[in-house]
A and B are shown apart, each in its own frame.
Chain A
Amino acid sequence: MPLIEVTDLRKCYGTRVAVDGVSFTVERGEIFGILGTNGAGKTTTVECLQGLRAADGGTMSVLGLDPATDRTALTRRVGVQLQESQLPPKLRVREALELFASFYPEPADLDVLLGQLDLRDHARSFFGKLSGGQKQRVSIALALVGRPELAILDELTTGLDPHARRETWRLVEGVRATGVTVLLVTHFMDEAERLCDRVAIFDAGRVVATGTPAELRAAAGASTLDDAFVSLTRSAR
């Protein structure tokens, strides 16, 4: 059984259709990418999967649970990194981790986690004093502190410099190596090509293509995922 199964998901905001019949599956142990331009419905889809938003139609199963009715059970098994979510600037890194660890039945070892995310030297730093890359690593650490089976990472590297981005990619690969399934929301093609086993390309609230990066390149007759993306999303317009 797939770890995530989404069938014909629909979500409207008033008269605007944000997600229009989206279907895809994610297998255990995969890094699965949700790709699309801004406003393609990526974040809305992921928010429905977390139970943060009620869908208007379709069915969803995450870890065998229905996000709409089993949200609380789901929060214990899914780690989340939200787009543009901050922490109080005067909270120290270790305090943030301790706080979030206290929410979960079997949290990760904080020293190990700090080491994995290269945050040991910053454990006593205020969140507000960290660089963009360091903040992002804290955000990933918080997503992993509850030992999730699934990590949902939204716009992971937006705003990071090339070094920090590569470092973050290495981390995501490390996360998957520990057996965590990763759902990665991004609009960076190089990121998806480097990290994802399979991707779904979103355009205007629909999935226009699903497959491995290589399959999508071949299908579009393109030499890069970037070109494939442009041609796939253009043909759908």
Chain B
Amino acid sequence: MNTFAKITATETKLFLRSPLMAVVGILLPSALLLGIGAIPGMTEPSEAAGGYRFIDAWVPSLIVVTLAALALQSIPGAVATYREQGVLRRLATTPAHPANLLGAQLLIHVVVALAGIGLVLGLADAVYDVPMPKHPLVFLLTLVLGVVSMFALGLVTASIARTAKSAGGLAMISFVPIMFFGGVYLPRPLLPEVLRRIGDYVPPGSQALQDAWVGTGVQPLQLVVLAGFAVAGTALAVRLFRWE
């Protein structure tokens, strides 16, 4: 087995031995969906939501929740813990490059995020009859850009946090705005116009996801901005990264 595969296998075991993040990432968004669906009126068409049901508008926001928890909270915490414990430095003294450890963490978190998102979409379809994306390919492309841009932001936090504690604090700087603009605290149709417009361009692109979903057509500029976040975030993370 090569180094990356071996490290990924070991990291997966460790991830599952402290399963809180896996449970949060996979089950929490679905639990929220069921909770919201249980609120009277959420599954009825609403004028304020432009004729859609609130539950429809919530699905992209639940994707935001999943990605925010895994990309903005979990990864920076994991990497900062390894930095704090000297694991990254220890690895740097072996023939295995510590970048393997980062790659393994990314892979595990992306897989969990996709599982969590898949479960939300499946449940939304099965329980609330939320129609599946009208433009599946555009939706997938948007989702990929959304996932990459969010993990890029998470890696910036992971690069600069020296300890797990400071990672938790630093993560909030991106976590709270992302959740807010993603319509998690207040459904996006209820946000003031100007905030909603800003939110259109904030990762993971919940408006673009929504548009691809209902088939109204995605604004290319929104995708370009997402890609910009992905590239700039990754470049910044690489620049700022410290093994210790």
Contact = CB atoms under 8 A, between A and B. Distances in A.
Contacts of B7: 99
B93 A91 contact: no
A103 B94 contact: yes
B18 A90 contact: yes
A91 B82 CA distance: 13
A52 B87 CA distance: 14
Contact of B89 (A85, A87, A142): A85
Contacts of B6: 99, 102
A90 B18 CA distance: 8
A95 B3 contact: no
Given A88-B14, A91-B14, A100 B94 contact: yes
Interface stretch (A27-35, A74-82, A110-118): A74-82
Contact of A86 (B1, B87, B95): B87
A75 B95 contact: yes
B216 interface: no
Interface in A35-71: 50, 52
Q: Provide the main secondary structure of the chain B interface.
A: helix
B95 A76 contact: yes
Interface string B62-101: 0000000000000000000010011101101111100000
Contacts, number: 56
Contacts of A161: none
B137 to A, nearest CB: 39
A84 interface: yes
B10 interface: yes
B165 to A, nearest CB: 16
A95 B95 contact: no
B87 A88 contact: yes
A86 B94 contact: no
Nearest to A99: B10
A104 B6 CA distance: 12
A146 B94 contact: yes
A211 B93 CA distance: 28
Interface string B1-26: 10100110010011001100000000
Interface in B1-56: 1, 3, 6-7, 10, 13-14, 17-18
A146 B90 CA distance: 14
Contact of A82 (B10, B17, B89, B95): B89
A80 B93 contact: yes
Contacts of B13: 95
A102 B9 CA distance: 12
A231 interface: no
Contacts of A99: 6-7, 10
A91 B10 contact: yes
B2 to A, nearest CB: 8
A103 B86 contact: no
B191 to A, nearest CB: 41
A88 B93 contact: no
Interface string B87-120: 1011011111000000000000000000000000
Nearest to B244: A52
Most buried by B among A75, A78, A142: A75
Contact of A87 (B1, B87, B92, B95): B87
Interface string B112-139: 0000000000000000000000000000
A82 B93 contact: yes
A86 B18 contact: no
Contacts of B92: 52
A72 interface: yes
Contact of B86 (A50, A72, A86): A86
Contacts of A103: 3, 94-96
29 contacts: A50-B93, A52-B89, A52-B93, A76-B95, A80-B94, A82-B90, A82-B93, A85-B85, A85-B87, A86-B87, A87-B85, A87-B87, A87-B90, A88-B14, A88-B82, A88-B85, A88-B87, A90-B18, A91-B14, A95-B10, A95-B13, A99-B6, A99-B7, A99-B10, A102-B3, A102-B6, A103-B95, A103-B96, A146-B95
Given A80-B93, A82-B93, 10 more contacts: A50-B93, A75-B93, A75-B94, A84-B86, A85-B85, A99-B7, A99-B10, A100-B94, A102-B3, A104-B95
**Among all A-B residue pairs, the 3 with the closest Cβ atoms:** A85-B86, A86-B85, A80-B93
